[in-house]
Amino acid sequence: MKKLHNIAGQVMSSLEAFDGSRAALDAPEILIVRGMSRKRFNQEDLKNILANILDEVGAENMDVLCKDSKDIIGIMDENIRSNVEIQGETDIYGLYRLKKSLEAMNCYVEYALGCLDDTGIFIVLWMDKSGLGPRFVEVVVTNIQ
């Protein structure tokens, strides 16, 4: 569990989002942390920022559409469901719906999935298209073994 906290802490610190961040779910197999980044960055930089963060923590950046990614997302979903009651079945396309719903609220959204040994890391960044206001961060770190 300490490993999950360390990885999430590295991600949040890298984004200057550690202060004021809160755990949305803190369980032995999974940690979800939400916060607001104090860094200023542009929408066109979001993908590179996410890739750089995964590199910084030593994680392999994964294509969300590949089979291994679907397996990791499935494990994340199982770990969430073991702690929180959720209706419906695991659905990889929920990520796309999340992105579309945030974009419909006038936000730029990017996410990345990484793997570090026996740990899956999913990071979402979103910000208002006006460029004003906070940059939101959500990090999901889970054991995948």
- Output the CA torsion sign for 95, 97, 103, 105: negative
Sequence ranges of the domains in the chain: 2-143
Tens digits of residue pLDDT in 26-53 = 999 999 999 999 988 888 899 999 999 9
Tens digits of residue pLDDT in 87-134 = 666 666 677 788 889 899 999 999 999 999 999 999 999 999 988 888
Please give the C-alpha separations between residue 37 and each of 15, 75, 98, in angstroms, as whole numbers: 6, 27, 20
Name the amino acid, one letter, at 17.
A
User: Which structure tokens are listed for 102?
Assistant: 């945030």
Contact indicator for 93, 101 with CB cutoff of 8 Å = no
- pTM beyond 0.85, yes or no: yes
